[in-house]
Amino acid sequence: MESVDAVKGILNKIYGTKKGAGAFKKIYPLIEKFPARKREARDYFSQEDVILITYGDSIYTGEEAPLKTFHRIAAKHFKGVFSTIHILPFFPYSSDDGFSVIDFYCVNPKLGSWEDIKSLNSDFKIMFDLVLNHVSSKSNWFEKYLNEEQGFEDLAIEADPSTDLSGVTRPRSLPLLTEFTKSSGSAVNVWTTFSADQIDLNFKSIDVLEKMVEILLFYVNQGATILRLDAIAYLWKEIGTNCVHLSQTHDVVRLFRSILDCVAPDVMIITETNVPHVENISYFGDGRNEAQMVYNFTLPPLLFYSFAIEDSTALSSWAKGLYLKSEANTFFNFTASHDGIGVRPLEGILPEEEIDRLIKIVKENGGRVSYKRNSDGSESPYELNITYVDAFLNKKSGFDEYHSNRFLASQAIQFVLPGVPGTYIHSILGSHNWEQGVRQTQMARTINREKLRFDDIIKQLEDPDSFRSRIFFPYIGLIKIRKKQPAFHPNAFFEILELDPKVFAILRHCKEQIIYTLTNISSTHVSVSLPKDIGDFDMKDLLSGKIFKANSIGLNPYQFVWLVTRDR
């Protein structure tokens, strides 16, 4: 089988012929015994694909498992809206809100059970997190490493603290190495990229690789249709390099893709790499051998910036480059997630003083800034911690009459770009900064991770004058209309139209349909004309049903329209 040969070849490339053969001897039986799925010709994506991102306990009652509570609200409001639910790590953990996994095989009992996951899977596809860079220091695996048990001796990456590791790319300002004492009494310093509680796994060990392949296949067996490779960029470490995006890291992604091609070709991989755009899209590989999707990390900060200065020039220029070589790949377009708004993806796009402008706005709007350690010992901004909703607040005007419209306009742009859109639960619910949570945890990221009481949410959604209601129902309506338009297929043709700096305009085109989407990103009225070859056709807005003349389109502050030609 071609995919099996690919697995063997990749293992030989990573580990060398002898060690690669030993790795294949361990991994092939896992593939062989897995109930392989029938390979069918299919498109990976369609305009029907829209993903919701949530924690398992983002909504709770205190009386039932939060996963059951979420399923109740999802069954009522999200069926026919979202095709896939990304439940952020729902395993037992010790820190980082789930990303320090204690047991990869269990559902956190505080959230529910595997039955709750399967129940949700009956109504939605599910995206799982494969947290493969690190494991909790409280895990049974790390305990066995400290006890030097067979199969776990090489679990962690040990390093001499006197070694020069200043060239290692850091996503945090915390120490890279953390000291632990083994049961034998010997002290070791192990690699901890993200925190002292998150022990980096040593993928040079075949035992570690075997364990993670087992987990990969276990998740597929539990119903995962998309696997999110968390923090994948930092997976492989070689002292003397920057330890990010190394060739072996890409080889591991290719290995996982080849394994899935063997047993579950319908399951997709998405890579999470909060890095500049060119580095990010490298995880598409040759278009068919690595990830099917990558997070479009440049979109959230650049979109925020464009609205802040009321000028779409930089956004339009960047968006022109969103063409992909392969129809088997697409972007995952998101504006908010459980993390903050990444700053690194703006490198090479915006000068430092413009990033400082965003930092000032975030702080004025009650947000925080997280920093990373640089190789020279200095620190620089890594991400902006604020809800995306409150990033779009204009505090200078006192009462901001445009707040909800401005935020919804930003989301409308997300939904017209090429790619699969993803929405964070706190975006569609119109959540503000959770200041109390930050005070409780002393973590800046908590500001965007509030736990919401079910009864409170329902009450606010039932009040048409509440801010949540004014975000939620237009947002739902926007998605429902989008899903019906074939021109919004993730890989359909697009062209950026430069009509006015205050308007972001993009043409989406497929065999069945042409849509001109225009979004006024400013607080002033703007009049624009579509390209002259359109003539003076009447254009119908799919969102409002109103008719516009192609050569004279007036847009109110933060108004967005999706225009199609009306038969005359």
298 alpha carbon, distance to own chain's centre: 11
- Give yes or no for a contact between 457 and 66, defined as CB atoms under 8 angstroms apart: no
Distance of CA 374 to the CA centre of its chain: 24
Contact 91, 219 (CB under 8 A): no
Asked whether the predicted pLDDT for residue 42 surpasses 60, the reply is: no
Q: What is the DSSP-derived secondary structure letter of residue 311?
A: -
Asked whether the predicted pLDDT for residue 537 surpasses 90, the reply is no
Q: Is 487 helix (H, G, I), strand (E, B) or coil?
A: helix
Average pLDDT, the chain: 95
The single residue listed with the structure tokens 């989008």 is 482
- Could you report the per-residue pLDDT of 278-326, keeping only the tens digit for each? 999 999 999 999 999 999 999 999 999 999 999 999 999 999 999 998 9
Is 493-565 assigned to CATH 3.30.565.10? no
Q: What's the rounded Cα separation, in Å, for the pair 341 and 8?
A: 39
DSSP 539: E
Largest CA distance in the chain: 85
- d(Cα 57, Cα 248) in Å, to the nearest integer? 36
Q: Is the pLDDT of residue 226 over 90?
A: yes
| Over residues 435-453, mean pLDDT | 96
Which is nearest to 411 in space by CA: 426, 394, 433, 396?
426
Report the catalytic residues. 230
List, for residues 176-206, the tens digit of each pLDDT value. 999 999 999 999 999 999 999 999 999 999 9
pLDDT per position as a tens digit, 458-476? 999 999 999 999 999 999 9
CA distance 368 to 363: 6
Read off the pTM.
Answer: 0.96
CA distance 442 to 319: 36
Residue 162 pLDDT grade (very low, low, confident, very high; cuts 50, 70, 90): very high
Of the given ranges (80-84, 535-539, 562-566), which has the lowest mean pLDDT? 535-539
Record the tokens describing residue 557, joined without a space.
């502050």
pLDDT tens for each residue of 69-88: 999 999 999 999 999 999 99
- For the chain, what is the radius of gyration of the CA atoms? 24
